[in-house]
Amino acid sequence: MKRDPQGKRLFFTLVALFGGGGLLAVLLLPDWDSPPMSNEAWVSEELGPAAISMYTLNARTRRPDPLNELEFPVPPLVEDAGVTAGEVYDDVQVLGDLDRAQFDRLQVAITRWVAPNEGCTFCHAEAANGLPDFDAEPPYQFDVAREMMKMVRELNAEEDHIRPQGVTCFTCHRGQNVPEYGWYKAGDWPGPEERWYQEPPPWIRTATTIRDFFPREAFELFLLEDDRAAGLQARDAIVPPEREPELPPEEGPVFTRAENTYLLMMQMSDALGQNCTFCHNTRAFYDWEQSTPYRVDAFHAIHQTRRINRDHIEPLADILPEDRLGPVGDPFKANCMSCHVGERKPLGGVPMLSLFPGLVGETPEPETARPPRARP
């Protein structure tokens, strides 16, 4: 039988095209975690060994986030001056109850936490000689800092989730004017002609990991609006098709809600560097009685993050310049990664509140939202 040279050439051409395309995809697509992976067992002191041991798979080539290698800046301790900041300085609306010496120490610390390169004039007007002019009209950063300081004092006054470690500006900022991690609203999808595999272009342009391709609706639903991430797991091995879904119809299709809940959970897992079993018993994700106590912390964390975004960050849209806003005109908001940066406790658990006790505000009203059937 005579061979077909054209068919052979076509075969090798197709092999070269597909092989080259596959190689380009491997090289150009976002980060890959190549095997072998190392596994790390972490046993909770509160829960005991073995039964609920948690294993985390880590790529051996993965390095710690540089933000977690920074040292927490702490100015030297000072003696009280015996007079409050509100009695000495004009128009101190948030920290006026602090002793003047502790107020000054805190101002030095805030400068190192947020604007170490710009100094005091990042939030205060700059005089002709380059020094801060505290009497002149300040830039917009002054009002932002005042709102953020109110937020920090409110958070530190709450018993759930953050205490006893506490938070400071450095928890999110890590020496930068704007925190490294957060999110904007995605906005409406562009027309089909501008999409790439049904996804809006911004995610493609900014993605650095495969998870960045996921939509952002989950953040908006659960970390800004009063939505709830629950009630999606089936309780029976075989669900009769005639059974009505447990969620009310106005909360959207069950499949879409399951996808958004998954996205929120994966964001939390990434942010804490832990897998699902840190909070859940994977045999029964829904059951609070079989969950670890950390699930209660996570419940309060979701509500706390929602209040951060809704009550303190969203209102800043009216005073922030355009280059500080997202594609639909919203400020850069917080999620779990903003504070945790891949660690179970931010900054490795540095006791920030004990170093700056003045960052605790008045005790807030009791939180109305409580975790269902939470462990005592």
Question: Could you write out the three-class secondary structure of the chain?
Answer: CCCCHHHHHHHHHHHHHHHHHHHHHHHHCCCCCCCCEEEEEECCCCCCCCCCCEEEEEECCCCCCHHHHCCCCCCCCCCCCCCEHHHHCCCCCCCCCCEHHHHHHHHHHHHHHHCCCCHHHHCCEECCCCCEECCCCCCHHHHHHHHHHHHHHHHHHCCCCCCCCCCCHHHHHCCCCCCCCCECCCCCCCCHHHCECCECHHHHHHCCCHHHHCCCHHHHHHCCCCCCCCCCCCCCCCCCCCCCCCCCHHHCCHHHHHHHHHHHHHHHHHHHCCCHHHCCCCCCCCCHHHCCCHHHHHHHHHHHHHHHHHHHHHHHHHCCCHHHECCCCCECECCHHHHHCCCCCHHHHCCHHHHCHHHCCCCCCCCCCCCCCCCC
Cα(267)–Cα(117) distance, integer angstroms: 31
Task: Check whether 6 has a pLDDT greater than 80.
Answer: no
Task: Check whether 50 has a pLDDT greater than 50.
Answer: no
Express each pLDDT in 52-85 by its tens digit: 555 666 666 677 889 999 999 999 999 999 999 9
How much is the CA Rg of the chain, to the nearest whole Å? 25
Residue 245 banded pLDDT, cuts 50, 70, 90? low
> What is the four-CA torsion angle of 30, 67, 350, 211, rounded to 10 degrees?
-20
The arithmetic mean of pLDDT across residues 174-181, rounded, is 94
Task: Check whether 316 has a pLDDT greater than 90.
Answer: yes
pLDDT at 266: 86
pLDDT top residue among 29 and 164: 164
Task: Check whether 182 has a pLDDT greater than 60.
Answer: yes
Residue 184 banded pLDDT, cuts 50, 70, 90? confident
- For 281, counting Cβ atoms within 10 Å of its Cβ (0-12 exposed, 13-18 middle, 19+ buried), the class is middle
pLDDT at 226: 74
Q: What's the one-letter identity of residue 126?
A: E
Q: What's the one-letter identity of residue 17?
A: L
226 CB neighbour count, 10 Å cutoff: 10
Whole-Å CA distances, 199 to 69, 205, 210, 265: 35, 11, 13, 21
Express each pLDDT in 318-349 by its tens digit: 999 999 998 788 999 999 999 999 998 999 99
Express each pLDDT in 208-219 by its tens digit: 555 555 666 678
**Torsion-angle region of 50 (φ positive above 0: left; ψ -120 to 50: alpha; else: beta):** left
Give the residue from 198, 344, 215, 218 showing the smallest Cα distance to 271.
344
Express each pLDDT in 264-297 by its tens digit: 888 888 888 888 888 888 878 888 888 888 888 9
Task: Compute the mean pLDDT over every residue in the chain, rounded to the nearest whole number.
Answer: 80
Task: Check whether 1 has a pLDDT greater than 70.
Answer: no
Q: What's the one-letter identity of residue 19?
A: G
Bond prior to 139 in cis (omega within 30° of 0)? no
Task: Check whether 4 has a pLDDT greater than 90.
Answer: no
Task: Check whether 351 has a pLDDT greater than 80.
Answer: yes
